[in-house]
A and B are shown apart, each in its own frame.
Chain A
Amino acid sequence: MATPEPARKKTPLVGPGYTPVGAADEISDLVLKRPLTWEWLLGAGLAFLLLGVLAIAVSVLFYRGVGIWGINIPVAWGFAIGNFVWWIGIGHAGTLISAFLLLMRQKWRTSINRSAEAMTLFAVLCAALFPLLHLGRPWFFYWLIPYPNTMWLWPQFRSPLVWDFFAVGTYLTVSALFWYVGLLPDLATLRDRAQHPFPRLAFGVLALGWRGSARHWQRHQTAYLLLAGLATPLVISVHSIVSLDFTSAIVPGWHSTIFPPYFVAGAVFSGFAMVLTLLIPLRAAYGLKGLITARHVDLLAKMMLATGLMVDYSYVMEVFTAWYGGNPYDWSLMVDRMAGAYAPLFWAVMVCNVAVIQLLWSARVRANPAWLFAIALVANLGMWMERVMIVITSLHHDFLPSSWAMYYPTVWDWATLFGTVGLFFFLFFVFIRLLPVISISEVQKLVIEEGSR
């Protein structure tokens, strides 16, 4: 029984009445002509205050050591690692949107890829802070880098923490390159449109003399596609390696083969939630509804639902294998998670990541920005709680009852967490002020293609 596709699916990806020049004007004017508004100042100012909190927290950490956090034996990994996994996961949707959807020739990525990539970069920066701060002697972080040194020692390449260094370092580098390659033509557009000499010079330097030659475009497109092809397996490998930090330990609740795909799904899920958290206010505040259309938001919500269901499947499998595997330690840990001291955390995760996202099945919920924004916030919170739950509950309840103990976060744990939230949003506020939030050249192409259909 074939039913016709609902008309909603055919809604164009750009609003009515757009011309290539109009779209370019709208996006570049956001950078070049928009005056400073009090809303931006307020948002950036609040984020800056939180950034100050981070500076204080890190200074105290450098002075007094990781003892200021609630970690101890047996819970030697606390918020720092949970936050690390959470932040790096948030970055994943950005790369996935821009790289994977580019390879799949999905046109709906066009209006959102730039801001999603920026989100990735900033989230990975926040994430990278935590393993460094967690080292105990953070100023020796460069010992993770293999370089011929006077001590004649190499890093232990079999250690997951060294893998992390390579995974996160590569991810940060490739994300930055991908972002910049995509920005290059737009920087040239801004250079040519800027009225004042200073932005003209700044964009001119950044644009490296881009002049839109057909030969340049040909190589640019090749390089961009290749980068996308490289970034797609990379993004999966990064979170798989992060999950190997856990899996290669024999601690019950960590030593599990489902971790790599489970972590990747959770990462993409929280990443889509963060994209929605950022884009819904952005398109409302700057009147971008013609470019970031209701259909974009709808598709993002569907992606969030799909990846959320993968996460839910992983939850079920985690419990099932713990029971079916017959390992008493694994099962004891699962029971402790569901009914022990951290049970409220477990059930809160279930509410956020399993129950609430089922609302996304409804097209009416997906069409309502306020609801979507709320659900996205809940999903972000839920994923953060899940990462912290994985880190803490396994350690606090391992093999020997005599070594069981609780973990209580201190004020510095919270200060570092909220501080990185401040860092993230501050960078994002600066980004929307200084660079085009939507890819100008790609939107122009899209407008032509949509118009000729």
Chain B
Amino acid sequence: MASFETPEAVLEAARRTREAGYRCLDAFTPYPVEGLAEAIGSAQSRLPLWVLIGGLCGGLGGFGLQYFSMVHNYPYDVGGRPANSWPAFVPITFELTILAAALVAVFGMLAANGLPRPHHPVFDAPGFERATLDRFFLCVEARDPRFEKDATRRFLESLNPKDVADVAC
């Protein structure tokens, strides 16, 4: 694991590491650095699709709930209005669409990120508490097919980092 002092440095290092053939990379930064996720080879997230599905389920479920209860399960006759008076069902359908989509967005994001995970090996890296402040880390994981302890360390050192450390998994 190598640490850098500026976002540009870690971005450049990530590009060069990937060009050198490493595939299992991760980077840790205090704020989102544009292009870094692509540079370490992270695929575009499928979260938007899941949110769309969640929203559709919420909307259909909301309308279905109202249709079932107001038409089948317990129809009220209020002044002879139709049981399936769908315009009156629009507000709740809309709200449940948004609610379901938002819940999927947040919990889907957490689940895909593997959070909550109170401890992770990278927390043991020296100075890692600065990853949420002003330090930028690039990590080559040991499961990388090209990973080889000393060679990888020499390679990371060639990228002009602030320092390089081993992190036990």
Measuring CB to CB, which residues of chain A are less than 8 angstroms from any residue of chain B?
20-21, 24, 146, 152-154, 156-158, 162-163, 166-167, 169-170, 173-174, 177-178, 180-181, 185, 188-189, 191-193, 204-205, 208-223, 226-227, 230-231, 233-234, 237, 241, 244, 441-442, 444-445, 448
Contact = CB atoms under 8 A, between A and B. Distances in A.
Contact of B122 (A192, A211, A218): A211
Report, nearest first, the 5 A-B pairs whose CB atoms are least far apart. Answer: A208-B116, A223-B109, A218-B37, A154-B69, A192-B129
Contact of A20 (B76, B91, B128, B134): B134
A448 B65 CA distance: 50
13 contacts: A20-B30, A154-B74, A157-B69, A157-B88, A177-B106, A185-B132, A192-B131, A193-B133, A211-B120, A214-B37, A223-B106, A227-B102, A230-B105
Given A192-B130, A237-B95, A209 B32 contact: no
Does more than half of chain A's interface fall in helix, strand or loop, or is it mixed?
helix
Contact of A213 (B14, B28, B31, B78): B28
Which of B29, B55, B76, B123 has the most chain A CB within a 10 Å cutoff? B29
Given A154-B69, A214-B36, A227-B106, A222 B47 contact: yes
A186 to B, nearest CB: 8
Contacts of A205: 118
B26 A189 contact: no
A219 B70 CA distance: 40
B118 A209 contact: yes
Interface residues of B, number: 63
B32 A445 contact: yes
B42 interface: yes
A209 B120 contact: yes
B165 interface: no
Nearest to A444: B31
Contacts of A189: 30, 132-133
Interface in B1-51: 7, 14, 26-33, 36-37, 39-40, 42, 45, 47-48, 51
A153 B74 contact: yes
Which of A153, A212, A214 has the most chain B CB within a 10 Å cutoff? A214
A191 B7 CA distance: 22
Contacts of A233: 98
Contacts of A167: 91, 95
